[in-house]
């Protein structure tokens, strides 16, 4: 349409101009919506605040401004346009730097096209970008509501018209131009800002929704795979994990590999991708070398050697250790080309991170289990020879006077030896530990007679609670071994178990000679060789329960000692008990 056709618009002409500008607006909004569905633009809209983001957004919205100029309508040696949409939206969404950069790009481009209003129009675009950016600052970086953007668009475009009227020469031509285009341009640009912000808002909400759904799916899979992957990454555990992922999602196929072979594959094509076969897919081989996520949009990108393989698209993510070493790959597939969604990519990354973390934790747990087992074996090997020698002497003395009592003591000693030397479980019920302690105290009572008293105060409701083996007996032994002195000729040992605030408290206290302050500090700092037993108990408790356990020793010289062990009432997970048991048996078989 020629410039003279709009030299003096009537009402119908203004309506025609509005319709034409609105048609141009639909092109920009359609373009914006299309871009919002492209992964690169999604990433751009969701990048963290950074100079790189501001630069990219400034160029992006600057290009929108240029497109708005080219989609304008020539009129009276000027251009009725929707250029300010880019600058204002950029400022409201990205801040002053983005708004200024977008306005500068759009403004310089407009000035290069010439015309009597070129410079005021260029300056208006730049200043509108800056103005919108400072409004972003007032919102403290929060997303600008689309409706508020509409009114900012009206103000910005009104300022544009005022600049043309004040600066452009000749004035009469500027006045006619503003009178003809102000209404259509103000409304169209304001609507454009509103719709563009709405498109961005929808894209961001979709991203949040995808993240929420992804998090929910990953958490469900994590909950189900935690006991499985606690046993390490093997063909069996990988297959069980793949089954869970496939059942928890709408994927068509899922696979897990190590660095050389397929560990598990389920879904379509599982008859062509069998466990323990070497990895042949080029995409997986490339990933294992590069460590980069592979988004596979078609069969060629997957690189499967089997021409009849039904898999057409997928995403492959590396499994990495905490140090970045690749030890396998997680592969999610669909049966149609270009069917992998942003949700699938996010889910793959989340699942790979969780699976790798679980497998890494298993290695740490395995080391911890071996350490606990070693500590238990050390304690079992430490049967006090003096206790054994003294007990045999006591039995020899008692059996002459009372054979029945002598036989009972032999049975108790046999039970103690069997429990401390041959016990294969790392965990026992509290009732078993109490039984062992009672047998030990009954034997010691025969030796010391009235000089030794003991008492048990055990909450019967706690008898089934699982606790680490040999956790109380070494402490009781320590009380008797170190409790007597020249001054302290008799002692009383009390063993207590009670529950408080979902914690189980195990307390061993005595009225013995106590521990001097310096010696107590040496015991707590693991610097006293004669306190191996009590330090062993403390270390095992901490290794099993971590920060959930408390081990304290309270003692005053010549006024007794109190050892307090605090552990969670729920104990440890069943799968950890099972793994500890398996590790113990494996270690014993190797021994």
pLDDT digits (tens, 9 = 90+) for 354-391: 777 777 766 666 555 555 455 445 544 444 554 555 56
- CA 159, distance to chain mean position in Å, is 49
Q: What is the CATH number of the domain that holds 245?
A: 3.30.450.40
pLDDT digits (tens, 9 = 90+) for 397-412: 677 777 787 788 788 7
pLDDT at 106: 94
Q: Which residues, including other chains, have CB under 8 Å from residue 427's CB and lie 6 or more apart? A: 466, 467, 468, 469, 571, 572, 577, 580
**In this structure, is residue 505 part of a structural domain?**
yes
Long-range pairs, 229-234, Cβ under 8 A, ≥24: 229/355, 229/358, 229/359, 229/362, 230/358, 230/361, 230/362, 230/365, 230/575, 230/576, 230/579, 231/362, 231/579, 232/359, 232/362, 232/363, 232/366, 233/258, 233/263, 233/327, 233/328, 233/359, 233/362, 234/263
Percentage of residues of the chain with pLDDT beyond 90: 30
pLDDT at 35: 72
Q: How many domains does the chain have?
A: 3
Residues 488 and 561 in one domain: yes
Residues 398 and 295 in one domain: no
Residues 304 and 245 in one domain: yes
pTM for this entry: 0.46
**In this structure, is residue 53 part of a structural domain?**
yes
Q: Average pLDDT of 212-234?
A: 71
Q: What is the CATH number of the domain that holds 460?
A: 3.30.565.10
HSE-up (13 A, CA, CB side) for residue 410 = 11
pLDDT at 418: 72
State the sign of the Cα–Cα–Cα–Cα dihedral 164, 166, 171, 176.
positive
Q: What is the CATH number of the domain that holds 146?
A: 1.10.1760.20
Q: Which domain holds residue 404?
A: 382-590
447 versus 101: which is more confidently predicted? 101
Q: Which of 209, 242, 269 is the last residue of a domain?
A: 209
Q: Is pLDDT at 583 greater than 50 in this prediction?
A: no
Residues 483 and 431 in one domain: yes
Rounded to the nearest integer, the mean pLDDT of the chain is 81
**In this structure, is residue 365 part of a structural domain?**
no
Q: Average pLDDT of 316-335?
A: 88
Q: Which of 320, 342, 357 is the last residue of a domain?
A: 357
Residues 30 and 179 in one domain: yes
**In this structure, is residue 586 part of a structural domain?**
yes
Element of type H or E holding 228: helix 171-229
**In this structure, is residue 185 part of a structural domain?**
yes
Neighbours of 222 (CB within 10 A): 17
pLDDT digits (tens, 9 = 90+) for 164-201: 999 999 999 999 899 889 999 999 999 999 999 988 88
**In this structure, is residue 369 part of a structural domain?**
no
Q: Is pLDDT at 525 greater than 60 in this prediction?
A: yes
Residues 13 and 113 in one domain: yes
Residues 103 and 33 in one domain: yes
Residues 423 and 328 in one domain: no
Residues 410 and 546 in one domain: yes
Residues 399 and 528 in one domain: yes
Residues 127 and 76 in one domain: yes
Q: Which of 209, 241, 270 is the last residue of a domain?
A: 209
pLDDT digits (tens, 9 = 90+) for 55-67: 888 999 999 999 9
Residues 239 and 302 in one domain: yes
């Amino acid at each position: 349409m020629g410039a003279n056709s709009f030299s003096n618009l009537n009402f119908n002409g203004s309506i025609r101009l509005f319709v034409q500008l609105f048609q141009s607006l639909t092109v920009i909004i359609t373009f914006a919506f299309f871009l919002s569905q492209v992964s690169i633009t999604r990433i751009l809209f969701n990048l963290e605040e950074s100079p790189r983001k501001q630069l990219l957004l400034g160029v992006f919205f600057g290009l929108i401004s240029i497109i708005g100029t080219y989609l304008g309508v020539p009129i009276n040696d000027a251009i009725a346009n929707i250029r300010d949409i880019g600058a204002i939206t950029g400022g409201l969404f990205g801040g002053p730097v983005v708004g200024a950069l977008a306005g500068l790009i759009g403004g310089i481009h407009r000035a290069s096209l010439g015309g009597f209003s070129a410079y005021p129009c260029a300056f208006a675009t730049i200043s509108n970008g800056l103005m919108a950016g400072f409004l972003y600052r007032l919102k403290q970086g929060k997303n600008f509501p689309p409706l508020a953007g509409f009114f900012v668009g009206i103000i910005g475009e009104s300022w544009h018209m005022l600049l043309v009227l004040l600066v452009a020469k000749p004035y009469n031509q500027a006045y006619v131009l503003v009178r003809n285009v102000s209404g259509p341009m103000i409304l169209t640009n304001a609507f454009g800002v509103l719709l563009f912000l709405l498109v961005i808002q929808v894209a961001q909400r979709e991203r949040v929704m995808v993240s929420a759904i992804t998090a929910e799916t990953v958490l469900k899979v994590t909950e189900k795979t935690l006991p499985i992957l606690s046993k390490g990454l093997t063909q069996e555990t990988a297959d069980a994990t793949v089954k869970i992922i496939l059942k928890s999602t709408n994927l068509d196929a899922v696979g897990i590999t190590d660095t050389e072979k397929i560990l598990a594959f389920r879904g379509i094509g599982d008859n062509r991708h069998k466990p323990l076969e070497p990895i042949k897919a080029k995409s997986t081989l490339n990933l294992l070398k590069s460590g980069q996520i592979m988004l596979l949009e078609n069969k060629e990108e997957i690189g499967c050697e089997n021409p009849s393989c039904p898999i057409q698209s997928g995403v492959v993510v590396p499994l990495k250790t905490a140090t970045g070493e690749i030890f396998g790959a997680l592969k999610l597939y669909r049966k149609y080309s270009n069917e992998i969604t942003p949700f699938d990519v996010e889910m793959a990354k989340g699942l790979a991170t969780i699976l790798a973390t679980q497998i890494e934790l298993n290695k740490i747990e395995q080391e911890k289990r071996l350490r606990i087992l070693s500590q238990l074996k050390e304690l079992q090997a430490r049967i006090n020879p003096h206790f054994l020698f003294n007990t045999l002497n006591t039995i020899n003395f008692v059996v002459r006077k009372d054979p029945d009592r002598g036989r009972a003591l032999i049975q108790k000693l046999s039970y103690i030896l069997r429990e401390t030397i041959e016990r294969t479980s790392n965990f026992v019920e509290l009732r078993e530990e109490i039984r062992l302690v009672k047998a030990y105290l009954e034997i010691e009572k025969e030796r010391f007679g009235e000089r030794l008293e003991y008492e048990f105060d055990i909450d019967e409701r706690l008898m089934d609670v699982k606790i680490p083996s040999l956790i109380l007996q070494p402490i009781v032994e320590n009380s008797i071994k170190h409790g007597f002195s020249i001054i302290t000729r008799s002692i009383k040992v009390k063993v207590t178990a009670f529950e408080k605030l979902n914690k189980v408290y195990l307390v061993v206290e005595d009225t013995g000679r106590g521990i001097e302050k310096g010696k107590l500090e040496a015991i707590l700092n693991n610097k006293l060789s004669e306190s191996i037993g009590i330090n062993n108990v403390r270390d095992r408790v901490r290794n099993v329960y971590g920060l959930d356990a408390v081990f304290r020793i309270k003692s005053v010289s010549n006024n007794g000692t109190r050892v307090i062990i605090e552990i969670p009432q729920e104990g440890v997970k069943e799968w950890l008990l099972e793994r500890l048991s398996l590790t113990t048996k494996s270690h014993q078989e190797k021994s």
